[in-house]
Amino acid sequence: MKRFFRYLKLSFFALPLLAAQQDKPLRVIFFGDSITQAGVRPGGYIVKLGEMLEKQNLKSKYELIGAGIGGNKIYDLYLRMEDDVLSKKPDVVIIYIGVNDVWHKASHGTGTDPDKFVKFYEAILKKLQAANIRVALCTPAAIGERTDFSNQQDGDLNQYSQMIRNLAKKNGLPLIDLRKAFLDYNLKNNPNNEEKNILTTDRVHLNEVGNQFVADEMWKVLKGM
């Protein structure tokens, strides 16, 4: 009997703590490059996601934080993750990187070799998982929107997207496959095989439709995390 009352006493004090934990919004950090940097501006995909949450009366349940810097590649994310991610103690991190690792090979004569890309990505995942942070991975969406695979860097972009898919599978992590989603969308909505202005402004960065599209794809996974 004494044990029973002791259990009741412990439960009584635990309930308010549990309720407080449940009321705390889920802190989500979007970790990436200029696409994510623009995501926190008016019309950006993070802003649109917040608007979607508000319409569903869920805005108080989530705290959305953008951590994007233009020009970033995978190793830039690794170098700044302590200050820009871990120090903020997020519950969830969505990694959206890879475009510059591919794009800069042609535009700047730089980029990231495939083996280094995987090693840095794995190092980031290891640190996040060690901190008990839930993680979702995104494939890089587009460097050109032509649907016949005549965009200059389609081959590399497909390769790096597959590496991210493999990392998600290997680590049992949710995948937001923007590469596949963009291709599927363009096959239906780009009959003239245009290289931009379907979901992007310049073949890479998102237009209004693209920002909403990414917000929708993000939400499909985030709502289950």
Percent of the chain with pLDDT over 70: 90
The answer as to whether 42 is a domain residue is: yes
Asked if residue 7 belongs to a domain, the reply is no
Which pLDDT value is given to residue 22? Answer: 53
Query: Would residue 123 count as lying in a domain?
Result: yes
Q: Is residue 38 part of a domain?
A: yes
Q: For residue range 78-112, what is the model confidence (pLDDT) as tens digits?
A: 999 999 999 999 999 999 999 999 998 877 778 99
State the pLDDT at residue 110. 86
Q: Is residue 212 part of a domain?
A: yes
**Buried residues in 116-134 as b, exposed as e (16+ CB within 10 A):** ebbebbeebbeebeeeebb
Query: Per DSSP, what are the bridge partners of residue 135?
Result: 93
Residue 135: count other Cβ atoms within 10 Å of its Cβ: 19
CB environment 79-97: b (16+ within 10 A), e (fewer)? eebeebbbeeebbbbbbbb
Domain count of the chain?
A: 1
Tell me whether residue 198 is in a domain: yes
Q: Would you say residue 3 lies in a domain?
A: no
Kindly give the pairing relationship between strand 92-96 and strand 134-138: parallel
Query: Considering the entire predicted model, what is its pTM?
Result: 0.89
Residue 53 counted as domain residue: yes
Length of the chain (residues): 225
pLDDT in tens, 148-185: 999 999 999 999 999 999 999 999 999 999 999 999 99
CA distance 18 to 135: 23
Angle between helices 208-222 and 45-55 (to 10 degrees): 60
Alpha-helical segments (H) within 172-207: 178-189
Q: 182: domain range?
A: 26-222
Q: What is the CATH number of the domain that holds 38?
A: 3.40.50.1110
Two structure tokens written together for 66:
């953008």
Query: What mean pLDDT is predicted for residues 183-190?
Result: 98
**DSSP conformation class of 153:** T
